[in-house]
């Protein structure tokens, strides 16, 4: 009879240990999944922010390049008009003559 009680106690203890380890494992794996999702979403947000900043920088550099083309085109036009005004006297009222006359 004592042997049977010891066997039953041993089996109950083994079942209790198994269920305790199993519940600890389930709680631990739930936390691991939550932590993995949190880290993945954080990395995704960081990547998205870097991509957004890169796109803005590219658009800004394209606008700067177009602005530079416009500036140098206007500068060339002014230089050409001044050249023709000074050397060829192409216009009846010169900008330079108006400045000197004042």
Span 59-97, pLDDT tens digits: 998 888 888 889 999 999 999 888 887 777 655 555 555
Q: How many domains does the chain have?
A: 1
Confirm if 76 and 86 have CB atoms less than 8 A apart.
no
Could you read off the pLDDT of 9-67 as tens digits, one per residue?
666 677 667 666 655 555 566 788 889 999 999 999 999 999 999 999 999 988 888 88
According to DSSP, residue 36 is labeled: H
End-to-end CA distance of the chain: 130
* Tokens coding 43: 């990395």
What pLDDT does 6 receive? 61
Residues 6+ apart with CB under 8 A from 90: 84
Residues of the domain holding 72? 2-101
The pTM for the full model equals 0.45
């Amino acid at each position: 009879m004592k042997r049977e009680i010891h066997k039953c106690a041993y089996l109950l203890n083994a079942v209790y240990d198994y269920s305790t380890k199993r519940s600890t494992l389930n709680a631990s794996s739930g936390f691991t999944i939550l932590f993995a999702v949190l880290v993945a979403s954080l990395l995704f947000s960081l990547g998205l922010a870097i991509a957004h900043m890169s796109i803005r920088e590219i658009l800004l550099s394209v606008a700067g390049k177009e602005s530079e083309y416009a500036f140098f085109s206007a500068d060339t036009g002014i230089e050409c008009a001044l050249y023709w005004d000074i050397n060829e006297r192409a216009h009846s009222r010169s900008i330079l003559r108006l400045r000197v006359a004042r």
